Structure 1
């Protein structure tokens, strides 16, 4: 079997690891196409500042769905060896660069395991610009002109780069993509960051940790910082089952209303305050007040955020897939920005540092951004809440765009769409079959994993390595059952799978 993986980040690692653990009965030739020099870390987990922490607890960062403590156990191993003397293996939130090391080593181990069974893992340091179905095979065409045949192709394209909303790329002082944060950042002059999400927080923390003394401004449309992560509460299995049954069996047209009612009931049963819910989702509270308030609630069993996440995690993917398309589009347009602050919270240690900076005036958060323009003499003008702010250095942390057609991932998707091999999804990425992650189009054997499948698999869940690992295992099981590439049985499907279940 010949398998191509387009992209060499964390999703690709979960796929190779799942394949190696499946003990394939036939020799497998894996080709990974990745133009970056280092495989494994992708964009989020490169060599970076120690201050850039993973926003999920270490216990939820395994690449192995069935072994959620794999990363934690690896941390204990490397700490015991003395290789990383500064590492605290019991810390709840670990540096992103350290997770990158874990990814690289798990990829090497998986490759060695496949090699021991007679397989190979080859790396092509080039981007794939096209995938062409020919005579029951899928041919990859790279930017260097190399063509290779494969039985199956999995696209692991990662998260798109930040959006250049105001067309500032190429302007002096504009940093279009500030990752990795180890790259030189200005230390002696005011810095403005476009955005107030997790990426913006990473930038602010990196600057503060290295002694930046000039003012730092985070400026966005809503001015909402990520929520502070709570310790999740234990959910009664009966309560969880009631929600899961509703998600599986409620007709799609009534699903959104039904789930909201059940969630409100569960939150009330745990003592959650409607006032706290409204305040967490509202725009207007001061950033310092919001962070201080939420820091005081990280261990509160009646905090609604401590209840919501463990309730939603097991059913989030299926809930999103069963909602009507117009409901999904409306949610993304009207609610996603605020809900994302809850579903993607920041570690308490990060919040505590931000709070100190907010109180001493070294950090400001502004809302109401409506325009950013380049000044004729250099620098920028940011218009927010009717006021103009000057900025000499502008770091871009805007939310991810659709894949840029000027980049290799966007170019590839454009080519596939032209020939009907993939259909752009209005909610992000491309249409996929919910059960198998197979791309819905004119050829079978083509799959999408991670952010690329976010239109049908809500990325709050798909972005979890445990969730991606579960999907990777499903893809591996599918391709090992001997599905034949060629014309897709889904090619003429005009509707998505309705009511699919993760248990098959």
Structure 2
């Protein structure tokens, strides 16, 4: 990395923390790093704000490390701060899988302290560091470098810009914003869900991990009224199984990284070789995949809870292979195969490969069996007419409160970054990808326009959805951050003088 480089990091959430840590470990370090973010909870992003302890991360500690090549970084941080011990283990360890799932707020503490550590390391290594508590609203490339304009009108000259703007909140698919009783985003649940009348009927839009968080948070604050999880298909997240010590042998990133193209059928054959290598019951796994959207969701939940310690490794291999190797498979698939996967199997992939802790599954099942929670299929519309009316395939239901808990769409530009992205598009610096987000290069995460990359600008996180597949989750952010730092390290640095916008 050339010593004169000035890097602008737009956004201060989990993606930015992964990038800062990668920069702090690089040799040499940049001359100047400037982070722009106007969030009141810097470094934590939307999901890891101070919140109720009932809302927990859904991944084990070794999948939550922000340090590349060090899967135990988070676990050591947890132990070194006196957070481990019998009482804490009893509180955070899942009784069915033995895995520790910490509160989201605790993980936010880790992100915050990791960011501060990375900045301190950069300072100690003679890097100049700035944190600007403003959003970037405009960007341009008037010379050979970049120029960013903050909301105050102040302008900053950069050699390289990395867009880490996150995915934003849930989309308001039914136009309910501003209606009394509509909660557009459940996070932080301690401030947004605790104020709901405990006897009111509540509709939670969605059936994914965010919706599960919302339902369990309502139960944790003592909600007594009926709760419905409303969605088109009522596909719950799968239940995470007990960890297994298994290393991928065939379906590895290295297998696909050097290839330029491969039809999906050949990729499936490599996956079959992986499954045969582990003596997996392949027909049973195929039934699991194909039945995801048609099996009764409650029966599926019961079956998954009964199989938490099942000896067959099929699901665990799939859950490891998709996020680990999927980013290297996706770019080499033909476009019609990508469209097929997105249109026909996206919900299945998300359900199986982004599972919930067994304890959450048991809590959901208890609410269902008590009659307080139901999961009707066939949501068509929600409208406000002196209260909320949900139009379902089997009729209309009335609710006093609606919680919007759909996952933030990974295919759109978040509203907070809209003005910036629009200005960059006008300058010809970015291009929308046909499947959403911005077009980026597979290997470096550089932005791409007309098939040509620009070594001045990169995207990390959900902005790269479409061109890439897995753009969320800490392991993906860590891997892409390392790629970006390596690309910056080898790119030439402009010495041209920037002119005003």
Following TM superposition, by how much is the alpha carbon of 1:87 offset from its aligned partner in structure 2, in angstroms? 8.5
Q: Is residue 2:80 matched to residue 1:72?
A: no
* Structure 1 stretch displaced more, 463-472 or 259-268: 259-268
Q: Which of 394, 398, 404 is 1:386 aligned to?
A: 394
Q: In structure 2, what is the equivalent of residue 139 of structure 1?
A: 147
Classify the secondary structure of the residue corresponding to 2:189.
Answer: coil
Name structure 1 gaps, 5 residues minimum: 488-504
Equivalent-residue separation in structure 1 for 2:88 and 2:166 (angstroms): 31
Q: Is residue 2:128 matched to residue 1:112?
A: no
Q: Is residue 2:44 matched to residue 1:44?
A: no
Q: In structure 2, what is the equivalent of residue 130 of structure 1?
A: 138
Q: Which of 308, 314, 319 is 1:304 aligned to?
A: 314
Q: In structure 1, what is the equivalent of residue 473 of structure 2?
A: 464
CA distance 1:104–1:406, change in 2 (3 Å):
closer
Q: Which of 457, 480, 483 is 1:474 aligned to?
A: 483
Following TM superposition, by how much is the alpha carbon of 1:450 offset from its aligned partner in structure 2, in angstroms? 1.1
Q: Which of 33, 50, 70 is 1:30 aligned to?
A: 33
Q: In structure 2, what is the equivalent of residue 344 of structure 1?
A: 354
Equivalent-residue separation in structure 2 for 1:141 and 1:258 (angstroms): 47
Following TM superposition, by how much is the alpha carbon of 1:81 offset from its aligned partner in structure 2, in angstroms? 8.9
Classify the secondary structure of the residue corresponding to 1:157.
Answer: coil
Following TM superposition, by how much is the alpha carbon of 1:130 offset from its aligned partner in structure 2, in angstroms? 1.6
Matches within 5 A, 1:260-279: 260-264=268-272, 266-267=274-275, 270-272=279-281, 274-275=283-284, 277-279=286-288
- Contact 2:203/2:402 (<8 A) preserved: yes
Equivalent-residue separation in structure 1 for 2:141 and 2:486 (angstroms): 22
Following TM superposition, by how much is the alpha carbon of 1:240 offset from its aligned partner in structure 2, in angstroms? 4.1
Q: Is residue 2:15 matched to residue 1:11?
A: yes
* Structure 1 stretch displaced more, 400-409 or 434-443: 400-409
Following TM superposition, by how much is the alpha carbon of 1:42 offset from its aligned partner in structure 2, in angstroms? 0.5
Q: Which of 207, 226, 234 is 2:218 aligned to?
A: 207
Q: Is residue 2:160 matched to residue 1:152?
A: yes
User: CA RMSD, aligned part only?
Assistant: 2.6
Following TM superposition, by how much is the alpha carbon of 1:276 offset from its aligned partner in structure 2, in angstroms? 5.5
Equivalent-residue separation in structure 1 for 2:249 and 2:61 (angstroms): 27
Following TM superposition, by how much is the alpha carbon of 1:284 offset from its aligned partner in structure 2, in angstroms? 4.0
Classify the secondary structure of the residue corresponding to 1:416.
Answer: helix
Matches within 5 A, 1:398-409: 398-401=406-409, 407-409=415-417
Q: In structure 1, what is the equivalent of residue 300 of structure 2?
A: 290
CA distance 1:486–1:133, change in 2 (3 Å):
farther
Q: In structure 2, what is the equivalent of residue 492 of structure 1?
A: none
Equivalent-residue separation in structure 2 for 1:485 and 1:165 (angstroms): 44
- Contact 2:78/2:84 (<8 A) preserved: no
Equivalent-residue separation in structure 2 for 1:229 and 1:129 (angstroms): 40
Q: In structure 2, what is the equivalent of residue 437 of structure 1?
A: 445
Which whole-Å deviations, capped at 9, do the CAs of 1:110-155 have from their partners, x for residues lacking one? 1111112222322212111121112222100122211110111000
Equivalent-residue separation in structure 1 for 2:14 and 2:63 (angstroms): 14
Q: In structure 2, what is the equivalent of residue 495 of structure 1?
A: none
Which whole-Å deviations, capped at 9, do the CAs of 1:438-464 have from their partners, x for residues lacking one? 1113853101001111222212xx323
Q: Which of 418, 421, 424 is 1:416 aligned to?
A: 424
Equivalent-residue separation in structure 2 for 1:471 and 1:249 (angstroms): 17
Equivalent-residue separation in structure 1 for 2:20 and 2:355 (angstroms): 29
Name structure 2 gaps, 5 residues minimum: 94-98, 497-501
Following TM superposition, by how much is the alpha carbon of 1:70 offset from its aligned partner in structure 2, in angstroms? 0.2
Following TM superposition, by how much is the alpha carbon of 1:261 offset from its aligned partner in structure 2, in angstroms? 3.1
TM-score by length of 2: 0.89
Q: Is residue 2:230 matched to residue 1:219?
A: yes
Equivalent-residue separation in structure 1 for 2:389 and 2:115 (angstroms): 45
Classify the secondary structure of the residue corresponding to 2:348.
Answer: helix
Q: In structure 1, what is the equivalent of residue 96 of structure 2?
A: none
CA distance 1:296–1:486, change in 2 (3 Å):
farther
Matches within 5 A, 1:246-265: 247=256, 252=261, 255-264=263-272
CA distance 1:171–1:443, change in 2 (3 Å):
same
Q: Which of 458, 479, 482 is 1:447 aligned to?
A: 458
* Structure 1 stretch displaced more, 464-473 or 266-275: 266-275
Equivalent-residue separation in structure 2 for 1:81 and 1:213 (angstroms): 34
- Contact 1:160/1:404 (<8 A) preserved: no
Following TM superposition, by how much is the alpha carbon of 1:285 offset from its aligned partner in structure 2, in angstroms? 3.1
Equivalent-residue separation in structure 2 for 1:469 and 1:123 (angstroms): 21
Following TM superposition, by how much is the alpha carbon of 1:216 offset from its aligned partner in structure 2, in angstroms? 0.8
- Contact 2:298/2:365 (<8 A) preserved: yes
Classify the secondary structure of the residue corresponding to 1:259.
Answer: helix
Q: In structure 2, what is the equivalent of residue 316 of structure 1?
A: 326
Q: In structure 2, what is the equivalent of residue 228 of structure 1?
A: 239
